[in-house]
Amino acid sequence: MNYLPTSDFHPLWITCLPTIGKTFFVDKLRLLTSEVVHKNGKKNVLRPQPLKKAMWQSQVCKPVELRQQRCAYRKDDAMNAMKRHTLAILAAVLAACIIIVGMTCPAALAAEQLLRANGKHYNYFLDGKPYVIGVNAESRSGKFYYCRQIESMTDYKVTETTTVENTEAARRLAWLLSEYQHDGEPVLTYAAIGVLVHRNYDDQKVWVRHEQYLFSVMDGLESKVNELWEEAANKLPVSSRVTRDDRQGLRSGSLFVQLLDSSGQPIEGVFTATIEGPAVFDEDDEPTAVGWAELEGTTVYWHATGAGEVNIKVGYQSVGLDEAVTAQKMMVLNDVVEREDSLLTFNVDNLYAPEQEMPQTGSPMGLVLGLAAAVMCCGAFMLYAVRRR
């Protein structure tokens, strides 16, 4: 028998080998194996050499195992990559949903649920339909909401609130809502405020019939409406007035502050004076002073900390009227509204030295200086007279 190398290597072994090392292992296996060729015409039989069997197993089986491990690792990597890709897609979809909801439903996200106001309004019927006049709803913090659209129904969900224009009617209603913003008032008072809200902010073509009907069936309502409207006149500051007095020229001085109502008359209230520039107020050495404005006015003192232009602003607290949007529009009190006026601009200089002023008549120092001047004049005159002789 002759053992001749064969080129007909088994294809199964080749497919199990790593691609990168296929050529190397094929050459090795050709040396380790041979095909037994029978010269008698029998079928060729592939036989491994007995002495090379261990080496054949070590060279062939080990790469197969590595191949299997690498396939497993690659499968795990593919699974992990697929999971990461899926999670990324889900996260993107969730973020898109949140953005869409936030853009399309901001009112639903910010809606405030109101409570029904019991015992603070009258119920009545007109044309067979039920209506109420007075406080329609309350917030959880205790604010009263008044209807301003008599032909609309509320769903008690506030989706938006805006401050209305600062008109005379808005100021009067804001003051009334602030003054009667508590339980225990007669229902007639709440109903009268409700009438004033409708009278100033409802469609008058619709409201006028309701007002006439209410005045005809509810005793004292019309007179209470007129009483409250007059009571609310000129109760809120709408402007401020400041005058200044310089004590030492540009170095220091005082400001005289008054708050004014819509008729220009002084009114009491809290004010905040602010200096913009190189000066501060004496009380705390701060550029801001808070005080109570009396009817006759209030004085605050300042001094310069440098040289330059200063601007005096006066702010004051008031109340306002807000419009709340539900299924119908309603009016509610705005507790604190900050308003500010820019009133004065002037120059200051902490190094300014005014000329020496003459002392006031009647002061002890004035008398002393006056006597000294008189003595010096007399002495000078006498010396002149002696020299003439």
Domains of the chain by start residue, with CATH? 2-86 (no CATH), 115-231 (no CATH), 239-349 (2.60.40)
Q: Decide if pLDDT at 280 tops 60.
A: yes
Q: pLDDT class for 374, splitting at 50, 70, 90?
A: low
Q: How many residues does the chain have?
A: 389
Q: Which of the pair, 352 or 139, is modelled with greater confidence? A: 139
Q: Decide if pLDDT at 352 tops 60.
A: yes
Helices 221-231, 168-179: crossing angle, 10 deg rounding = 110
- CA 198, distance to chain mean position in Å, is 31
Q: Decide if pLDDT at 72 tops 60.
A: no
- What is the structure's pLDDT at 183? 87
Give the residues across from 307 on adjacent strands: 349
The mean pLDDT of 264-276, rounded to a whole number, is 93
Q: Decide if pLDDT at 59 tops 90.
A: no
* Winning range, highest mean pLDDT, from 82-96, 119-133, 364-378: 119-133
DSSP-derived secondary structure letter, 19: G
Report the share of the chain in percent with pLDDT over 70: 62
Q: Decide if pLDDT at 252 tops 70.
A: yes
Q: pLDDT class for 112, splitting at 50, 70, 90?
A: confident
Q: E strands along 326-383, which residues?
A: 329-349
CA quadruple 68, 71, 75, 76: dihedral, nearest 10: 70
The mean pLDDT of 260-287, rounded to a whole number, is 93
Q: Decide if pLDDT at 40 tops 70.
A: no
The mean pLDDT of 70-89, rounded to a whole number, is 63
Separation of alpha carbons 273 and 314, rounded Å: 4
Which range has the worst mean pLDDT, 56-60, 76-80, 159-163, 343-347? 56-60
pLDDT, tens digit (0-9, with 9 covering 90-100), for 16-27: 444 444 444 445
- What is the structure's pLDDT at 117? 87
Q: pLDDT class for 42, splitting at 50, 70, 90?
A: very low
The mean pLDDT of 47-72, rounded to a whole number, is 50
- What is the structure's pLDDT at 337? 81
- What is the structure's pLDDT at 63? 54
For 136, 295, 303, 378, the CA distances from 298, given in Å and listed in that order, are 42, 8, 17, 50
Q: Which of the pair, 184 or 54, is modelled with greater confidence? A: 184
pLDDT, tens digit (0-9, with 9 covering 90-100), for 193-246: 999 999 999 999 999 999 999 999 999 999 999 999 999 998 988 899 999 887
- What is the structure's pLDDT at 317? 85
Which range has the worst mean pLDDT, 183-187, 319-323, 373-377? 373-377
Q: Decide if pLDDT at 95 tops 50.
A: yes
What is the pLDDT of the chain when averaged over all its residues? 77
Q: pLDDT class for 168, splitting at 50, 70, 90?
A: very high
CB 317 within 8 A of CB 292: no
Q: Which of the pair, 362 or 300, is modelled with greater confidence? A: 300
The torsion angles phi and psi of 199, rounded to 5 degrees, stand at: -60, -35
- What is the structure's pLDDT at 38? 43
- What is the structure's pLDDT at 377? 62
Separation of alpha carbons 388 and 248, rounded Å: 47
